[in-house]
Structure 1
């Protein structure tokens, strides 16, 4: 019996290419395609896929949140995250959300099809390089408040604006930024935000 697939990716070309490649496999059938994270659950409820292949970065809702929402609605569906963003922090978040697999988009077609089959069989499939990176980078050293402040600082907002946005004093924001810079090793708050983001901590 054919394994039913749902594809979610905001890039139509990538989605189309994935669908064409996977449809070449005799035991795989793409039953639904969506371009937004907030369309995943409705499409899954309608088409009842066995495996959902979700991108991380999508409008409406990211792939991690879509994974949680999908598994809450249809717990028997397996989720395979297929992403350009091979960041170890994303891997941890995806696994916490309930994804069974995590591979990068440049995975060869045959390996991707095999990953789908293994995920469908209830096995965990993780890109080996990402798995190693994830162990090396570890959990985020940032507190929730430091993460919030650094996320706000990422866009380049001045301290006063961050303070107003988060209902904190300017001094408190500076303290959190200083602490976050110490933990990430960034020389500036912008660099700290980039380091934290590349590790998937933001």
Structure 2
């Protein structure tokens, strides 16, 4: 029996996946949760065979969870199920050694077969994403610029960011200026939007 956990913040989709998978004689949904923190707690205590994770969830994202699972050397396989075909997300998933990366509009039979393939040691990527693997765009931002843009995305001002990072406001403005230049945009908000769309934040 393949023990599966589903972490998806959309209740209707989570319920539908659980119901459909329950018809399979070799698959058991042992938990369904709505956010990344709940998923992480369950994964650590129960170690399911396969974790089906949405990317954008409250508290901890699906990709952050994948990283934690890898770093903790937990045996469960990770499958990302998402609406996003962004090269940055896919590359990050590959870096985290995710076993499956599927788009949500795939037929349920494709997901079921993918679960079985992943348990057999294969990697599965949605057919429509195959070309994305060859479209890797190098992230021009350094780690500090990424941190600053993430804080801008959270709504913090330059003053608040400088206090949080123990840096001067001038230093923060410099990081924002270089980010804007590297991303070929005209404002900090455009920089946040551009980096987010590429899966770099």
**Range of TM-score over shorter length:** 0.7 to 0.9
- Structure 2: state its 5+ residue gaps: none
Tell me the equivalent position of 1:34. 33
Tell me the equivalent position of 1:166. 165
- Structure 1: state its 5+ residue gaps: none
Cα distance in 2, alignment partners of residues 11 and 128 from structure 1 = 24
Tell me the equivalent position of 2:4. 5
Secondary structure of the equivalent of 1:176? Answer: helix
Cα distance in 2, alignment partners of residues 43 and 151 from structure 1 = 27
- Per the TM alignment, residue 5 of structure 1 is displaced from its structure 2 partner at its CA by 1.4
Secondary structure of the equivalent of 2:140? Answer: coil
Tell me the equivalent position of 1:149. 148
Tell me the equivalent position of 1:201. 200
Cα distance in 2, alignment partners of residues 198 and 117 from structure 1 = 31
Secondary structure of the equivalent of 1:81? Answer: strand
Q: CA contact under 8 A between 2:85 and 2:132: conserved in structure 1? A: no
| Aligned alpha-carbon RMSD (Å) | 2.3
Count of residue pairs brought into register by the alignment? 201
- Per the TM alignment, residue 31 of structure 1 is displaced from its structure 2 partner at its CA by 2.1
The question of 1:66 aligning with 2:34 is answered no
Following superposition of structure 1 onto structure 2, how do residues 31-180 of structure 1 map, counting pairs within 5 Å? 31-44=30-43, 47-71=46-70, 75-180=74-179
Q: CA contact under 8 A between 2:183 and 2:194: conserved in structure 1? A: yes
Name the stretch that deviates more: 187-196 or 145-154.
145-154
